[in-house]
Amino acid sequence: MDTLKKITEIACIGGGVIGASWASYFAAKGIAVNLQDISNKFLEQAKTEIDKNLKFFVDINVLQKSELDTIAGLVHYTTDLREAVENVQLIQESIVEDYGIKQQLIKEIDTYNQTALLCSSTSGLLMTKIAEHSEFASRCITAHPFNPPHLIPLVELVKGKKTSKETVDLAYDFYKSIGKEPVRINKEIPGHLANRLQVALWRETIDLVMNGVCSLEDVDTACQYGPGLRWGIMGPNMILNLGGGEGGIARLIEHLGPAIESWWADEADWKKFPEGSTEVLVEGCKKAMHGKDIQEMEKVRDQRLIGLLKILGKM
């Protein structure tokens, strides 16, 4: 834990939705942040997003209004990569999902800072490949948040082939110390853990809608008010374990196993989006928003998230 005390300044590289959200969270935790992007235009957009996130924290009583200027002042904006990274102890990279661009960025960072934890927010790329040209790959790790990072606690930690155990342990302890819920993923796979689970369910929902079983709005309602409620308080394995009663998950498999296997046999297994599915999804989502725009729906999402996070003791 002594090492954790040395993480007093962080560089957030990339000021898009994820980078700005990370910067908001770090600043709210009292950590100085250098936010770097390639143009002042992008930095202005990031500042607008960060100011909005911090104001939201005030609105929900996570921060005091009197603290707002001080906390916002912890974020320093720059287009200079060297200025952003040379004196920090942790670098949170959140740039475009492209191996070549990430590899080039890490090579440049290596010239300015060789000791900071280098954490990538990549949604599904492999750290072994991201860091393959780095001379300091032992300090590189995937630290993938769930959107929006300033609200959702999950951080997926995935080591590359050269990532050291010390890096994994330090990253885990750091994110845990600032209120996140990190999980260690022991094997690199595309999409990591949570996104793979998410898109597996999404594929089945698309298939149900495309086959006329139900509308997009109805399938979302079924997830939200059925299993989604349960998954918000416990994971799917523990929920099913409880569903087996005193016999636990073994009893459930004994009782429902053959039926579940018949459902699996009937479920979708296609590997590419079916023809016409994009149009169906766009139209279905538009209808389900009932006249609201994306910004209004984001507010609904965030307000509901806050309620659940408070119940879970994470806000």
Domain count, the chain: 2
Same domain, yes or no: 174 and 249: no
For 131, phi then psi, to 5°, come to -100, 15
Q: Which residues contact 296 (CB under 8 A, 6 or more apart)?
A: none
Same domain, yes or no: 177 and 238: no
pLDDT at 6: 82
* Within-domain flag for 13: yes
What CATH number is associated with residue 293? 1.10.1040.10
Same domain, yes or no: 181 and 201: no
Please give the Cα distance from 276 to 294 (Å, whole number): 23
C-alpha distances in Å from residue 155, one per residue of 32, 99, 179, 300: 20, 21, 11, 23
Please give the Cα distance from 205 to 200 (Å, whole number): 9
Same domain, yes or no: 88 and 177: yes
What CATH number is associated with residue 138? 3.40.50.720
Same domain, yes or no: 140 and 52: yes
Answer with the one of 139, 166, 185 that is the final residue of a domain: 185
Please give the Cα distance from 284 to 265 (Å, whole number): 27
Answer with the one of 160, 185, 210 that is the final residue of a domain: 185
pLDDT at 59: 93
* Within-domain flag for 191: no
List, run by run, the mean pLDDT of 10-residue segments along the chain (315 residues).
72 97 98 97 98 95 95 98 97 97 97 97 96 96 96 97 96 96 95 95 97 96 95 94 96 96 96 97 95 94 92 88
Please give the Cα distance from 225 to 64 (Å, whole number): 33
Q: What angle do CA 149, 239, 209 make, to 5 degrees?
A: 70
- Short-list 238, 203, 242, 234, CA closest to 219: 203
pLDDT at 85: 98
Identity of the residue numbered 151: L
Answer with the one of 185, 207, 231 that is the final residue of a domain: 185
Same domain, yes or no: 110 and 55: yes
Tell me the residue range of the domain where 243 lies. Answer: 196-311
pLDDT at 315: 82
- Short-list 144, 140, 111, CA closest to 128: 140
